[in-house]
Structure 1
């Protein structure tokens, strides 16, 4: 795979990533409501989900994903359930200032990774993006390990960069709401938005 096609892949992925979808909205809502604590773990799950769909598109595993559709459905429900829990915690928050430098609570990091992964796996539009783009850039019947490695590195860098941009943007916006009353309002809006993301995760086909 030459650098031109790799660059086209990176550009298309960046444009698709910058366009706000359920994953981006969920990340922004969490940061607005709770600060950046745990955001890297949630984003890690989203990146892993992209890599799963990239692998499915590159190696023809999409049919296998259909065979094991009940497994992916269970993953989707689990992710949606965790987003509902996060939404409830945001809604019930009293608007207190949080220690944004504190690490996630014990066990929360893995749950956030799982939630991000579930959200990515529950979004078939991500798989369709890779299925539509990759055949136009590379012969999937003759894909080499080095080609897949290059695609994976680009995917990790681009998706992580886009998510980091939204995390920083949401954190800067959060600083505008310093009073407990304002934070409480932000938390409730963020909680409602997070709940909406859970519903999207459940109804997306």
Structure 2
């Protein structure tokens, strides 16, 4: 794989990453309610999910993914229910009674699985990579170093883009410190999470 191909692929990934989708909305929602650290963990989960599907595509495992479609279907509905549950908790929570220190560990675990489920709940991602990658490189001739480079591009481009969105949301949140504003943010974020979960559940 040539450096030119990798750079072109990086540019294409950037264009895809900046397009708002479920990962974008989940990152923003988590940033508004829990801060940059938890938002970054959501992004980490999203990136891990993308890399899993990327490797499936590179190693020609799309047929395997089709055969275990039932497993992805279970993940999809479990993830959807999980996101809807989180959204309801955000919607109904009182910002004055949230004890951040006592919920820190749960929050981080929740953030990671939120990001992971968003990607793994949509097995079409693997078929996207199957169709997308061959336009830039010959998948049959990729070396281990090439696979590492491609995975790094996905992680860096997707991760940094979503982190930027999260950082922007956190900066905007600082201007909204009143109880009413925090309650509104919680409801907006909760509605967003419920919406993501609902779309994930009904999406064909």
Give distance in 2, aligned partners of 1:136 and 1:103: 49
Residue 19 of structure 1 deviates from its aligned partner by 0.5
Aligned residue in 2 for 1:142 = 141
Structure 1 unaligned blocks of 5 or more? none
Map Cα deviations across residues 9-67 of structure 1 (whole Å, 9 max, x no partner): 11111111110001111111121233334222221110001101111211111111111
Give distance in 2, aligned partners of 1:54 and 1:87: 29
Contact 1:46–1:120 (CA<8 Å) still a contact in 2? yes
The normalised TM-score by structure 2 is 0.91
Is 1:159 paired with 2:142? no
Give distance in 1, aligned partners of 2:109 and 2:189: 22
Is 1:84 paired with 2:84? yes
Worse-superposed segment, 52-61 or 26-35: 26-35
Aligned residue in 1 for 2:28 = 28
Give distance in 2, aligned partners of 1:99 and 1:111: 16
Aligned residue in 1 for 2:118 = 119
Contact 2:30–2:111 (CA<8 Å) still a contact in 1? no
Aligned residue in 2 for 1:191 = 190
Map Cα deviations across residues 87-145 of structure 1 (whole Å, 9 max, x no partner): 12211122339788x69633443333222111111224533431222111211122211
TM-aligned CA distance change 1:174 to 1:6, over 3 Å: same
Aligned residue in 1 for 2:130 = 131
Residue 170 of structure 1 deviates from its aligned partner by 0.8
Structure 2 unaligned blocks of 5 or more? none
Aligned residue in 2 for 1:11 = 11
